[in-house]
Amino acid sequence: MNGQNIKLAKFAGFCYGVKRAVDTAKKLKAENPDKNVYILGELIHNSDVIQELEILGIKTIYEVPEKGDGICIVRSHGEAPSVFQKLEKAGFEVVDLTCPDVKKVQQRAVELAKDDYFVVIVGKSNHPEVVAIKANADLYSDKVIVADKPADIKPYEDEIKSCHKVGIVVQTTQMVSTLNSVADYIKSIAKEVLIYNTICKSTSMRQNEAKELAEESDLMVVVGSKKSANTTHLAEILKQCTNTIHIENDSELDEYKNLFKNIQKIGVTAGASTPQNVINNVISKIKEE
């Protein structure tokens, strides 16, 4: 596209937790060529990476079989303690690749539950990371809920008001605006509130940098899976700043050909589970148009 300025965000693509998980999975298979290597659930939300792992012989499973053989990787989102027990009982050699930042949220939630706080996890209730955080805290308390908007708190208002203290943790890939809206509502009804902002540093830096880039761009292109929480949140944030499209890879650019006409400044960013080659292909195709 002649005369256009395309700028790629510095914090785009794999975060350290994702890179660690992908690199370790490949290394495990290379070091154990004769062993079965499985991942419980998709290692990351990116179909290209899942396909690459399959080609290397690393299989994705979605349920724990009664009898297992070989290595089973627990992905970066983490799992419930009961799942670890099931994997070991099935006979797998378990390799835990839960992201260290996610582990910290689990630990915070457990600490709050043990200290008799009413625990609120800010995030999507069906997201695997949140499911694992809640499962860990549930072992120590029956006062653990998930909320991603103030309305989710309403059914628990009386219980929260009668509790002396409420503790809040947040899904690592959430938006700070979501945390604030839920926390502000809880502060208006609770006696004592302890908030742990457990949004990971990588997510915060990615979102802040992308917002700055959006302010000087006519169009933002967000690259990454529609199933990826951090990528969809990135697109949501940027849509409030400037014209924004969210694509999974370069093949989707054809749908937006007309949009690129007369656009001078294009900003590109990507989610934490987007491989560098996918980002490069998107930039190359924009330049070719």
Task: Identify the active-site residue in 42, 79, 111, 129.
Answer: 129
Torsion-angle region of 2 (φ positive above 0: left; ψ -120 to 50: alpha; else: beta): beta
- Name, in order, each residue with C-beta under 8 angstroms of 280's C-beta and a sequence gap of 6 or more: none
Q: Is 111 known to be catalytic?
A: no
Return the residue matching tokens 């940098």: 209
Tell me the C-alpha distance between 99 and 7, whole Å.
29
> What are φ and ψ of residue 55, in 5° steps?
-60, -35
SS3 (DSSP) at 94: strand
Tell me the C-alpha distance between 166 and 122, whole Å.
13
Tell me the C-alpha distance between 99 and 18, whole Å.
8
Return the residue matching tokens 């290209």: 48
Partner residues linked to 94 by β-bridges: 72
Assigned token pair, 87: 């994997």
- Name, in order, each residue with C-beta under 8 angstroms of 174's C-beta and a sequence gap of 6 or more: 122, 123, 148, 199, 203, 229, 233
Q: Shortest CA distance to 122 belongs to which of 66, 177, 78, 79? A: 177
One-letter amino acid for residue 170 of the chain: V
Active site residues: 129
